[in-house]
Amino acid sequence: MNDPERRDSDEMDIDARLEAYLDGQLDDAERRAFEERLRDDADLAALVEAEAAIKASLLRLHPNAEPSEAQMQDIVASLQGRETTCRRRDTRAARRWPLRVAALAVAAALGGVVISTVFVGGPEPAPFFQIQPLAKLYKEAVAQGFEPYYECHDDERFAATFLRRQRQPLRLLPMPQGTRMLGLSYPGGLSRDTTAVLCRVDDAEVVVFIDRLDRDDPRVAENDDPRLNVFRQERFGLVFYEVTPLDEPRMIYHFAVAAED
Q: Which residues contact 21 (CB under 8 A, 6 or more apart)?
A: 31, 34, 48
The tally of domains found in the chain comes to 2
* Shared-domain flag, residues 145 and 114: no
Same domain, 104 and 146: no
141 shares a domain with 119? no
Which residue, 80, 95, 127, sits at the end of a domain? Answer: 127
For residue 116, what pLDDT band results from cuts at 50, 70 and 90?
A: very low
Q: Over 50: is that where the pLDDT of 111 sits?
A: no
Q: Which of 193, 192, 190 lies closest to 230, judged by CA?
A: 190
| Statement to judge: residues 144 and 116 lie in one domain | no
Owning domain of residue 94: 4-127
Confidence of residue 22 (pLDDT cuts 50, 70, 90): confident
Where among 88, 105, 127 does a domain terminate? 127
Tens digits of per-residue pLDDT, 143-185?
999 989 888 778 888 998 899 899 999 999 998 888 999 999 9
The answer to whether residues 190 and 213 belong to one domain is yes
pTM to 2 decimal places: 0.58
Task: Let me know whether 166 and 119 are in one domain.
Answer: no
Please tell me whether residues 197 and 110 are part of one structural domain: no
> Would you state the pLDDT for residue 210?
97
d(CA 83, CA 28) in angstroms, rounded, equals 35
> Are 50 and 145 in a shared domain?
no
Question: Do 138 and 114 belong to one domain?
Answer: no
Residue 76 burial (C-beta neighbours within 10 Å; 0-12, 13-18, 19+): middle
pLDDT in tens, 187-228: 999 998 999 999 999 999 999 999 999 999 999 999 999 999
Interval 68-83 mean pLDDT: 50
pLDDT at 222: 95
